[in-house]
Structure 1
């Protein structure tokens, strides 16, 4: 892009669908809809951060230099405005999530916790006959 566009969070909140997905990392805006299916952590990670400042989430994961270089192809502008107040506005179109991608995003722990709780409950019911 020859000239950077300066986005506001109001504009970005409207760009949060799987077909038109934007997020902010370190003040730079990236259009990542084309990367949804290829993202190693699954599409849900990107959809959750859609239309808001994803810097903290991005840095917490510890992305490689290769990932940082790859993301430059999705750069579309800047967002110098502070993070929006209140919860982000996220619009999700009806989609078919790939279960294997959802498990990859959290290393399987997102699924394991409810499963462990269910197993504990069923064990309690079985052993104590409640």
Structure 2
């Protein structure tokens, strides 16, 4: 079905946002999860909260198992026309923050970025002062 999947408009998908009629948009595909509402481990309210938007981040943030991902194929009814999704309904990832393995606060990092060069200059002047020939 991959090549001939129906293309859905965002407004049409948004109309399916009830327990008895629930469609989700995940990774550019449209899923009719209505038959799965009672079976979903998080309950139907979790699925309903993911309607009327691109639910890709909601899906990925949970960390679904490979089994859950395979189960999705059963509910796929087509693809979303990405050009019809309103800008405020699409996840735009924030700029990636620099790697900070020890979770040092930003304030501390800025202070250190200032102090380290000043300390190096201070040591250089001290060495120069005490080693200069008289």
Per the normalisation by structure 2, the TM-score is 0.59
Structure 1 gap segments, 5+ residues each: 88-130
Residue-pair matches, total:
87
SS at match of 1:4: coil
Instruction: Specify the alignment match of 1:45 in structure 2.
Output: 46
Distance 1:81 1:44 in 2: 25
Runs of 4+ in 1 over 6 A off after TM superposition: none
Cross-structure match for 1:114: none
Shift in Å at residue 8 of structure 1? 1.3
Q: 1:84 aligns with which of 86, 96, 99?
A: 86
Range 58-67 or range 9-18, more displaced: 9-18
The aligned counterpart of 2:9 is: 8
Q: With CA pairs under 8 Å and 6+ residues apart, which has the higher RCO, 1 or 2?
A: 1
Taking only aligned residues, the RMSD between alpha carbons, in angstroms, comes to 1.8
Q: Answer whether contact 2:10 2:81 (CA < 8 A) is retained.
A: no
Residue 56 (1) aligns with residue 57 (2): yes
Q: In the TM superposition, what is the alpha-carbon distance from 1:80 to its structure 2 partner?
A: 3.2
SS at match of 2:73: helix
Structure 2 residue runs of 5 or longer lacking an equivalent are 90-134
Q: TM-score, normalised by structure 1?
A: 0.61
Give distance in 2, aligned partners of 1:86 and 1:37.
Answer: 30
Residue 76 of structure 1, CA deviation: 0.1
**Distance of 2:25 and 2:7 partners within structure 1:** 11
